[in-house]
Structure 1
């Protein structure tokens, strides 16, 4: 019976999403991840050494031109580190932490942006910015901060995606030919275009691959935007994409297309879709449900950080980490903390591993009694690099509270 069920499931996916699998006949393996409520009292943390070869640190220079909150993460591209928020892009030397420049600036004039939604073409050292004051175009800058002009996006003749709906798209990735966008999360009857994920070939001015928006419902002023509506993760193989209402996890490749990769089966624990559209009341139907918070695909394993809802108001949730080994088919549950057994410094989570940097929480910002949640309690004799423990402690003790963040850099095992 299990084989019949899997065949029907696969047939249903191919039937419902035939338009999404544009021109690739090679179907990758379809894994099934069955997730339930874990025994929270038995959850153990995973170790950082299971993900990371080693750790480096960089103290960001502090000047009046580059003041940052302590909890800001960065994105590393070669020798450059970019600190991005809604209104600015600051560039630092990734090795020394020296502040180099601001990329572009806030404003309404040529080469200026109102808000920042950035993607970086690392092969060509170009920073692209999508801003509300630009219709159907991206601002572009080189790594020296020079404005290079606007990259115009032209509608695919079949779908007027950009002229009508550019404001509703979020830029996720760009290279010298393709851009990946996700659309604002809206039911299909209210959305201004038919897709929720788009791979666009801007050289040939056509949509290369797209995932149709099949979400039912009606968005209104009582609707709520919560974690788990959309999760996207990237590794060296490409992107992985999961939407709230759809149980399918997709692999996304700019050349090969958008393919079903795994089924995430929450069973009766799946959060009710209707509650997204009307969240005015405390709903006991939410109690015991599960939402995906973030996702990491690394070293032939799928990691999902999830939220278990303890009450109907979403004010009380318990987090846990689910691991699925692609090679063995085995799964396991863990706490969300990833214990630092590299140098005994700060612990982390898969959300920080996605960005490959994590700001170190200043000692004076750690709540009393929460030290072991923030910093590792692994004994020095069991650390991968015990000689670095004293160095980390010294960096922490000498840090000025008014300094920019001290960033931990992860050297990942891809």
Structure 2
């Protein structure tokens, strides 16, 4: 493969497998003692995670209605709200509706879905899945920019791939393992392949569920992020795959990557490839790569990472192959190494404003977390707290929100 440079990370993975927790430093890697925190679950509070919270009520008109189950991300000066078949931009400061970006359709400028894409703050462009393995890119001004097809094609189902930006020019892609190739991360500049780094996790690189005829059941599970696909084979073995580009996350000008069944978190560089920077100490709840097709009681399966300069906020599931599935929130505070875990459904108690609990669903590269507060929950809170007199001004301003209005976005730093 022309211009490809294969980097093998076997030695690093074997070394990191021996790392263990307590918040200690091992070979300059931060160790996050997640297993110990899982054994000592506690309430998560906004003061544990953030320094300030701001609320933005989204404008509501007939031309910018937001459907239930919306998601939100922050792109520079805009709130990118995706719901149904629409991607809408709202002003980050005022909540004013700006425009709709992209459309679902089979025409040359149409995408297949507006869900699970990514935005590049360097260029202000938004990318969505197109057709036949392509991506359709639009400017924040709403104009069609171009269609891009990755130079490396993902294998046939159940192989998966995921993509995001590295900088203004370079796109990173993840490809799951196939029977003939290991999982790998590739970097592209347009149609040029800059490098490919292989992730050699174990002796066997088989998919487990080899093809459509071997599948007994497919289901999509909610994980507090883009969701995961669970595949159960006729032979009794199972496989799970994260949807969207949740393998990657950005902070400032750095790109990070986490691969399923690997305790290591990597930083991605166009020059150095995959560089180990942190390791999750899962203790008794680790799930080895060579056991990935078998049910393992209480094993931790991380699904989403969100990071800024102060904290890493992430989600994980347990018992993903059986009927005891649960999703959790976890917080790692960089300054003191504190790790806290709580059930996802408990959300984060707002002890700063005394308002509705929060559930962060995204973080911008500049470190601003975002959450959605449904308008009916906002209205109910004010009804339940009608006699409350010490409401912070930022919360009090939301009294104008009606039950039929668009949701409120909470921005946390």
User: How high is the TM-score relative to the length of structure 1?
Assistant: 0.70
Question: Which residue number corresponds to residue 402 of structure 1?
Answer: 404
Give, in whole Å, the separation in 1 of the partners of 2:246 and 2:110. Answer: 29
Counterpart secondary structure, 2:284: helix
- The 1:83/1:174 distance shift into structure 2, 3 A limit, reads farther
- Return the offset for 1:393: 4.8
Give, in whole Å, the separation in 2 of the partners of 1:96 and 1:291. Answer: 38
- The 1:149/1:292 distance shift into structure 2, 3 A limit, reads closer
Give, in whole Å, the separation in 1 of the partners of 2:127 and 2:326. Answer: 37
Q: 5+ unaligned residues in a row in structure 1: which ranges?
A: 1-9, 18-26, 156-160
Give, in whole Å, the separation in 2 of the partners of 1:224 and 1:244. Answer: 11
1:253-402 matches, within 5 Å, as 253-271=269-287, 277=293, 286-299=296-309, 301-309=311-319, 313-317=322-326, 319=328, 321=330, 323=332, 325=334, 330-335=337-342, 337-349=347-359, 351-353=361-363, 356-363=369-376, 387-388=392-393, 391-393=394-396, 395=398, 397-402=399-404
1:305-349 CA-to-partner distances (Å, cap 9, x unmatched) read 44454x972435373535364x66x44434354332332222224
- The 1:342/1:243 distance shift into structure 2, 3 A limit, reads same
Select which of 190, 208, 212 maps to 1:219: 208
Question: Which residue number corresponds to residue 33 of structure 1?
Answer: 32
Q: 5+ unaligned residues in a row in structure 2: which ranges?
A: 1-8, 17-25, 210-214, 216-231, 233-237
Contact 1:115 1:132 in 2 (8 A): no
1:60-102 CA-to-partner distances (Å, cap 9, x unmatched) read 2233443323442322223222112574322222223232322
- Return the offset for 1:293: 3.8
Give, in whole Å, the separation in 2 of the partners of 1:290 and 1:273. Answer: 12
- The 1:387/1:250 distance shift into structure 2, 3 A limit, reads same
- The 1:357/1:258 distance shift into structure 2, 3 A limit, reads same
RMSD between superposed Cα atoms in Å: 4.1
| Aligned residue pairs, count | 355
Give, in whole Å, the separation in 1 of the partners of 2:348 and 2:377. Answer: 22
Question: Which residue number corresponds to residue 163 of structure 2?
Answer: 171
Give, in whole Å, the separation in 1 of the partners of 2:255 and 2:122. Answer: 17
1:141-181 CA-to-partner distances (Å, cap 9, x unmatched) read 2222122333455x4xxxxx148789943222264320012
Give, in whole Å, the separation in 1 of the partners of 2:262 and 2:12. Answer: 11
- Return the offset for 1:259: 0.6
Question: Which residue number corresponds to residue 138 of structure 2?
Answer: 141
- The 1:324/1:163 distance shift into structure 2, 3 A limit, reads closer
Give, in whole Å, the separation in 1 of the partners of 2:160 and 2:170. Answer: 18
Higher helix share: 1
Contact 2:45 2:349 in 1 (8 A): yes
2:249 paired with 1:233 = yes
Contact 2:376 2:404 in 1 (8 A): no
1:378-399 CA-to-partner distances (Å, cap 9, x unmatched) read x998xxxx633xx52562x542
Q: Which has the larger radius of gyration?
A: 1
1:355-395 CA-to-partner distances (Å, cap 9, x unmatched) read 7211113445999xxx8xxx99xx998xxxx633xx52562
